[in-house]
Amino acid sequence: MNIDFEIIVFYALAATGVVSGAMVLIARDVVRVAFWLLSSLSAVAGLYLHLGADFLGLTQVLVYIGGILVLILFGIMMTQRDPGLVKLERKSTRSMATGVGVSLVLFLVLASVINSVGWASRRPASATPTTQDLGTALLTDYVLPFELISVLLLVVLCGAAYLARRRVEQSHA
């Protein structure tokens, strides 16, 4: 009974993620695209939790939904001063059909590759909290990438602030 519940949760999350992803592809309004992306990313966070990656699931919620999605909504807000742009976004249903076709063909190729490999089906051990092990790994085996990415984040912070700043006239200087 317990196991059946796990499988039901997996299929619910997978269906939510894939259907929302498809709506990202076919929705017309860019605001709706952002909100379908929210639904899809939430489902992926649920899948992380389902895989026993508790820290990653919460990081996904915090960074993607709390950070990136809000950033995207701000981007939409600041660049859509003309409502006509929303209508212009897709010229025809032909480009939508192209997108659906490309996705379908790509997925079929990937699915046939996945099906052709006999994956090892090791029954995973029951999930344990991962936060402590992640912290230990980040400060021992992965300390160099960890430090590099902190420098990268600093550079991105300065770069984004520099790129997005308002240009001022320098005549008085």
Partner 1 sequence: MPDVGLKAYLMVAAALFSLGMGVVITRRNAIAVLCGVELILNGAALNFVAFNRYSAPAGRLDGQIFTIFIIILAAAEAAIALAILLNVFSITDSVLIDEADSLKE
Q: Does 58 bind partner 1 (CB under 8 A)?
A: no
Q: Are 28 and 12 in contact (CB under 8 A)?
A: no
Q: How many binding residues for partner 1 (CB under 8 A)?
A: 84
Q: Nearest approach, Cβ of 172 to partner 1 (angstroms)?
A: 22
Q: Is 76 in the site for partner 1 (CB under 8 A)?
A: yes
Nearest to 141 by CA among 150, 151, 133: 133
Least gap, CB of 147 to partner 1 (angstroms)? 12
> Shortest approach of partner 1 to residue 141 CB, angstroms?
8
Show contacts with partner 1 in window 90-149 (CB under 8 A).
Answer: 90-91, 95-96, 98-100, 102-104, 106-107, 110-111, 114-115, 119-125, 130, 133-134, 137-138, 142, 145, 149
Q: What is the DSSP letter of 166?
A: P
- From residue 16, give the alpha-carbon distance in Å to each of 31, 68, 91, 97: 19, 20, 28, 22
Task: Give 112's contacts (C-beta < 8 A, 6+ positions apart).
Answer: none
